[in-house]
Amino acid sequence: MHTARINVESSKRRKVAATFVSAACAFALTAAPSFAMGARPLPPLYPDVGAGTHILDHDKLLAGATLNDPGFYKSALDWYKANIPFLEIPDKTIQAVYYYRWSVVKRNLRDTGADGYISTEFIPPVGWGNIFNSLNDAAGHHIYEDRWLRDQRYMNDYEKFWYTGSGVRYAHHFSADWLDDAVLARAKVNGDIGFAEKLLPELITQYDGWNKQFDANLGLYWSIPSYDAMEYEVASLETRKPFSGVPTYRPTLNSYQYGNAMAISEIARLAGDPATAQRFLAKARALRSNMFKWLWDPQRQFFYDIIKPGNPQHQRLDTREQIGYIPWYFEIPDTAQTSAWRQLFDPEGFEAKYGPTTAERRSRWFMHDAEDPNGWDGGCCHWDGPSWPFATAQTLTGMANLLNDYQQDIATVADYDKLLHTYAATQFKDGHPWVAEAADPDTGRWIYDAEDHSEHYFHSTFNDLVITGLIGLRPQLGNTLVINPLVPATWDFFCLENVPYHGHNITILWDRNGSHYHQGTGLRVYQDGKLIAQTVQLRKITVTMAPIRKLATDVTAPWIDAAANLTGHGYPKAIASYNGPQGSPRQAIDGQILYDQYRPASRWTDFGSGDRNDWLGVDFGKPTPVQDVRIYLDSAGGNFGAPRSFTLQYWTGSVWRDAPDQQHTPAKPALDQANRVTLSSPITTSEIRVVFVNGKGRYGYVAVTELESWVPPAANASR
Residue 254 lies in a domain: yes
Q: Which amino acid is at 46?
A: Y
Looking at the predicted structure, is the pLDDT value of residue 27 above 50? no
CATH (domain of 234)? 1.50.10.10
Q: Nearest 10 degrees: CA dihedral of 435, 109, 393, 359?
A: -60
- The CB-side HSE value for 342 (13 A sphere, CA atoms) comes to 10
Residue 444 lies in a domain: no
Tell me the three state secondary structure of residue 718. Answer: coil
3-state secondary structure 574-610: EEECCECCCCCHHHHHCCCCCCCCCCCCCCEECCCCC
Q: How far is CA 203 from CA 23, 206, 597, in A?
A: 43, 5, 41
Residue 77 lies in a domain: no
Looking at the predicted structure, is the pLDDT value of residue 265 above 90? yes
Q: Are residues 178 and 30 in the same domain?
A: no
Residue 248 lies in a domain: yes
- The CB-side HSE value for 20 (13 A sphere, CA atoms) comes to 23
Tell me the three state secondary structure of residue 14. Answer: coil
C-beta atoms surrounding 537 within 10 Å: 8
Q: Which residue has the higher pLDDT, 694 or 491?
A: 491
Q: Give the C-alpha separation, 428 to 521, whole Å.
A: 35
Instruction: Tell me the pLDDT band of 626, cut-offs 50, 70 and 90.
Output: very high
Tell me the three state secondary structure of residue 86. Answer: strand
Looking at the predicted structure, is the pLDDT value of residue 33 above 50? no
pLDDT of the residue at 32:
35
pLDDT of the residue at 25:
35
Residue 588 lies in a domain: yes
Q: Which residues of 62-75 are buried (b: 16+ CB within 10 A; e: fewer)?
A: bebbbebbebbbeb
Candidate ranges 76-80, 392-396, 546-550; pick with highest mean pLDDT: 392-396
Q: Give the C-alpha separation, 419 to 714, whole Å.
A: 50
Helices and strands, counts by H and E, the chain = 17, 29
Q: Give the C-alpha separation, 20 to 590, whole Å.
A: 21
Q: Write down which residue in 265, 290, 318 finishes a domain.
A: 318
- Dump pLDDT digits (tens) for 448-487: 999 999 999 999 999 999 999 999 999 999 999 999 999 9
**How confident is the model over 478-500, as a mean pLDDT?**
97
Beta 480-483 vs 473-474: how paired, if at all? antiparallel
Q: Are residues 179 and 39 in the same domain?
A: no
Alpha helices in 295-359 (DSSP H): 326-329
Q: Write down which residue in 302, 318, 334 finishes a domain.
A: 318
pLDDT of the residue at 485:
98
DSSP E strand boundaries for 634-661: 645-651, 656-658
Beta 480-483 vs 493-501: how paired, if at all? unpaired
Q: How far is CA 522 from CA 391, 499, 534, 671, in A?
A: 35, 19, 7, 42
Q: Give the C-alpha separation, 391 to 326, whole Å.
A: 9
pLDDT of the residue at 374:
56
**How confident is the model over 408-428, as a mean pLDDT?**
97
Looking at the predicted structure, is the pLDDT value of residue 553 above 60? no
Residue 511 lies in a domain: no
Provide long-range contacts, Cβ within 8 A and 24+ apart, for 198-202.
199/159, 199/160, 199/163, 199/164, 200/264, 200/267, 200/268, 200/271, 200/273, 200/276, 202/163, 202/164
**How confident is the model over 127-134, as a mean pLDDT?**
96
Looking at the predicted structure, is the pLDDT value of residue 719 above 80? no
Angle between helices 274-294 and 200-208 (to 10 degrees): 30
pLDDT, mean over the chain: 91
pLDDT of the residue at 379:
66
**How confident is the model over 120-141, as a mean pLDDT?**
96
Cross-strand partners of 307: 248
Q: Look up residue 55 and give its DSSP letter.
A: -
Looking at the predicted structure, is the pLDDT value of residue 289 above 80? yes
Q: Which residue has the higher pLDDT, 32 or 84?
A: 84
**How confident is the model over 340-365, as a mean pLDDT?**
97
Full domain range(s) for residue 311: 174-318
Alpha helices in 523-660 (DSSP H): none
pLDDT of the residue at 716:
58
Q: Which residues of 133-164 are buried (b: 16+ CB within 10 A; e: fewer)?
A: bbbbbbbbbbbbbbbbbbbbbbbbbbbbbbbe
Q: Write down which residue in 298, 318, 338 finishes a domain.
A: 318
pLDDT of the residue at 14:
34
Beta 296-297 vs 248-249: how paired, if at all? unpaired
Q: Look up residue 322 and give its DSSP letter.
A: G
Q: Which residue has the higher pLDDT, 559 or 396?
A: 396
pLDDT of the residue at 637:
80
- Dump pLDDT digits (tens) for 503-539: 999 999 999 999 999 999 999 999 999 999 999 999 9
Q: Give the C-alpha separation, 212 to 222, whole Å.
A: 9
Query: For the purposes of burial, counting CB atoms within 10 Å of the CB of 594, is it exposed (0-12), middle (13-18) or buried (19 or more)?
Result: buried
All residues at 6 or more sequence positions from 285 whose CB lies less than 8 Å from its CB, including other chains: none
**How confident is the model over 679-700, as a mean pLDDT?**
89
Residue 421 lies in a domain: no
Looking at the predicted structure, is the pLDDT value of residue 26 above 90? no
Looking at the predicted structure, is the pLDDT value of residue 376 above 60? no
Closest of 382, 267, 253 to residue 327, by C-alpha: 253
**How confident is the model over 415-431, as a mean pLDDT?**
97
Looking at the predicted structure, is the pLDDT value of residue 380 above 90? no
Q: Which amino acid is at 22?
A: S
Residue 470 lies in a domain: no
Q: Give the C-alpha separation, 423 to 561, whole Å.
A: 37
CATH (domain of 688)? 2.60.120.260
Q: Give the C-alpha separation, 510 to 491, whole Å.
A: 9
Q: Are 555 and 628 in contact (CB under 8 A)?
A: no
pLDDT of the residue at 552:
53
Q: Give the C-alpha separation, 626 to 651, whole Å.
A: 11
Q: Phi and psi for 639 in degrees, rounded to 5?
A: -90, -15
In this structure, of 39-48, 56-65, 163-172, 423-432, the range with the lowest mean pLDDT score is 39-48
Q: How far is CA 689 from CA 36, 190, 562, 593, 664, in A?
A: 23, 39, 14, 19, 15
Domain count within the chain: 2
Looking at the predicted structure, is the pLDDT value of residue 498 above 60? yes
